[in-house]
Amino acid sequence: MLLDGLCYIALCALSIIYGSQALTLLVLIFGIYRGLMGALAIISALIIRSKYGSSVSFGIARGILDLLIAVLFLTNPSFVIKFIVFIIGMWGIISGIILLIASGRSGSAAKIVKIVIGILLIAFGIFAFVNPIGLANFFMMIIGLFLGVSGIFLVVQSINMKKNDSQIKHEKQ
C-alpha cells in the first residue's frame, strides 16, 4: 500500500509538471497494452481452433482490431490525444445545445441554471477545438490531482496499518 501510494504521488507530480509528456506516455502505454492483448487474442483463437476445431473468426478479428489500434496509438499519439479531445469537445457542444433547448420548457430557476450550464458546455467544446492540447493538459492536471490525493490517502493508510500492527504485537507480548 505504501509503494502504491508513493507511485501515485510520483505520477501526480509527473502529470502536473510534465502534463503533455505524461499524457503521451499514457497513450503509448495503452498502445502497448492493446498490442499485447491483440496478440494474445489471436494466439488464443488459434489455440482454440487447433484444440477444439471451432470457429474463431471473432477472436482473430478482435485481435487484428487491437493490433491496428496499437499501431495507431504507438505511431501517432498526438493524433489520438487530439481525437479524444475532439470527441469530448463535440460532447460539450451537443450537450450545451440540448440544455439550451431544454431550458425553454423549464421553470425560472431551472431555466437560468440550464442556460448557464449550456453556454459553459458550448464554450468548453469550442475551447477543445481551438486548443486541444491545452485541454488535454488540463485533464492531465485533474488526473494528477486525483492521483496525488489517492497516493496521500494510501501512504497515510499504510502508516496507520503499520502503527496498528506494532500495537497489536506489543499487546500480544
> Phi/psi of residue 131, each to 5°?
-140, 70
Q: What is the pTM of this model?
A: 0.66
**Alpha-carbon separation of residue 96 from 25, 44, 91, 130, 136 (angstroms):** 32, 45, 8, 17, 20
What are the backbone dihedrals phi and psi of residue 165, each rounded to the nearest 5 degrees, phi first? Answer: -65, -45
pLDDT at 166 over 90: no
Question: pLDDT tens, 59-80?
Answer: 899 999 999 999 999 999 989 9
Contact 2, 155 (CB under 8 A): yes
